[in-house]
């Protein structure tokens, strides 16, 4: 006998009445775009971030998942970029001038949150051309940072995004069961990209950048999303990197992923791409707060 999986949105159960509301919205407002439908659903069901903004992007992807499962029919996608296309990466504009110096010589370094269109384009350029994973539109909440030296030259980039839904080693280290994780996952942030530009050779730069970023992240995330983060996680591909800078910045090694990928909730890709998990508590009592009622 096959048991139908319960419907969930970002890990939280969706009741029959909520699902009926979703279907009513989709059936009644078929002239709206998918993004507009998602915004309407979020408004009606109160699916918002801590700062009150709707979780529109996540809801749109969730609605498309329901359509793929045959649970509703969405309006046709409107003309735009072809399915599967990637965000355009600007041409290389940053001069690749080798920087070989001490941390004191290039500093003081500045880890600055990207807030303007020019900075976002520069970030896409650098990650798109020089990070081994390239640039993809981040899922869910996100903050970008550019790191500059005393002369204004860009040295590094960081991207922080929503945390992975489930990682057994992380969850064991925190002390989470499924219900507790659903309550507190919003307080975990993922460092999903970290790039020291390939022509920058400055000893201890990476750990210094991480230390400064950890100090900035708490206030920046609270300002952007109305939630105070308690823990930062990151995944390291040990085929390429040893995670030395994370260890030097006092991140804790909590184990290895099952290799499923962050959005594979039904173990369909187990063992495909395992990564080393590091976490950084932003407060001394982070673990206690993450399991609190």
Average pLDDT score over residue span 103-116: 94
Chain centroid to CA 149: 26
Return d(Cα 234, Cα 163) in angstroms, integer.
9
Per-residue burial over 135-157, b = 16 or more CB atoms within 10 Å of its CB, e = otherwise = beebebbbbbbbbbbeeeebbbb
Instruction: Quote the pLDDT of residue 87.
Output: 62
The pLDDT score that the predictor gives to residue 237 is 93
CA neighbor of 168 nearest in space, from 246, 248, 275 = 275
pLDDT of residue 3: 43
The residues pairing with 8 across neighbouring beta strands, listed in sequence order, are 13
Of 218 and 269, the structure prediction assigns the larger pLDDT to: 218
Kindly indicate the confidence band of residue 102, based on its pLDDT and cuts at 50, 70 and 90. Answer: very high
pLDDT category of residue 267 using cuts at 50, 70 and 90: very low
pLDDT tens digit sequence for 57-93: 889 989 999 998 888 889 888 665 544 445 667 777 7
Are 141 and 224 contacting, i.e. CB atoms less than 8 angstroms apart? yes
Inter-residue contact 185 to 163 (CB < 8 Å): yes
Q: Of the candidates 268, 235, 272, 239, which has an alpha carbon nearest to the alpha carbon of residue 253?
A: 235
Q: What is the pLDDT of residue 85?
A: 46
Q: What sign for the dihedral angle of Cα 97, 99, 105, 109?
A: positive
From CA 281, how far away is CA 268, in angstroms rounded? 30
pLDDT surpasses 60 at 196: yes
Mean of the per-residue pLDDT values of the chain: 86
Q: Does pTM top 0.85 for this prediction?
A: no
DSSP state letters, 105-167: HH-S-EEEE--SHHHHHHHHHHHHHHSTT---PPSSSEEEEEEE-TTS-EEEEEEEEEPPS--
Q: Which of 44, 58, 77, 79 is nearest to 12 (CA)?
A: 58
């Amino acid at each position: 006998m096959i048991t139908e999986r319960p419907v969930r949105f970002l890990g939280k159960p969706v009741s029959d009445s909520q699902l009926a509301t979703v279907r009513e919205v989709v059936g009644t407002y078929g002239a709206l775009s998918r993004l507009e439908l998602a915004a309407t659903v979020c408004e009606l069901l109160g699916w918002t971030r801590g700062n009150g903004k709707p979780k529109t992007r996540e809801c749109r992807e969730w609605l498309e998942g329901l359509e793929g499962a045959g649970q509703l029919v969405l309006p046709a996608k409107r003309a735009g970029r072809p399915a599967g296309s990637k965000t355009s990466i600007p041409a290389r504009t940053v001069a690749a001038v080798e920087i070989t110096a001490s941390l004191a010589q290039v500093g003081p370094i500045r880890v600055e949150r990207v807030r303007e269109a020019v900075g976002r384009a520069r970030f896409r350029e650098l990650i798109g051309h020089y990070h081994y994973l390239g640039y993809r539109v981040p899922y869910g909440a996100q903050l970008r940072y550019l790191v500059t030296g005393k002369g204004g030259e860009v040295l590094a980039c960081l991207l922080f995004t929503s945390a992975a839904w489930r990682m057994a080693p992380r969850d064991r280290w925190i002390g989470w069961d499924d219900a507790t994780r659903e309550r507190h996952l919003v307080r975990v942030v993922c460092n999903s990209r970290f790039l020291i530009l390939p022509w920058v050779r400055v000893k201890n730069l990476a750990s210094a950048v991480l230390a400064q970023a950890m100090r900035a992240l708490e206030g920046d995330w609270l300002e952007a999303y109305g939630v105070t983060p308690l823990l930062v996680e990151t995944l390291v591909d040990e085929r390429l990197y040893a995670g030395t800078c994370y260890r030097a910045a006092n991140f804790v090694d909590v184990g290895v992923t099952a290799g499923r990928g962050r959005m594979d909730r039904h173990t369909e890709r187990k063992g495909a791409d395992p990564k080393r998990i590091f976490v950084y508590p932003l407060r001394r009592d982070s673990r206690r707060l993450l399991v609190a009622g």
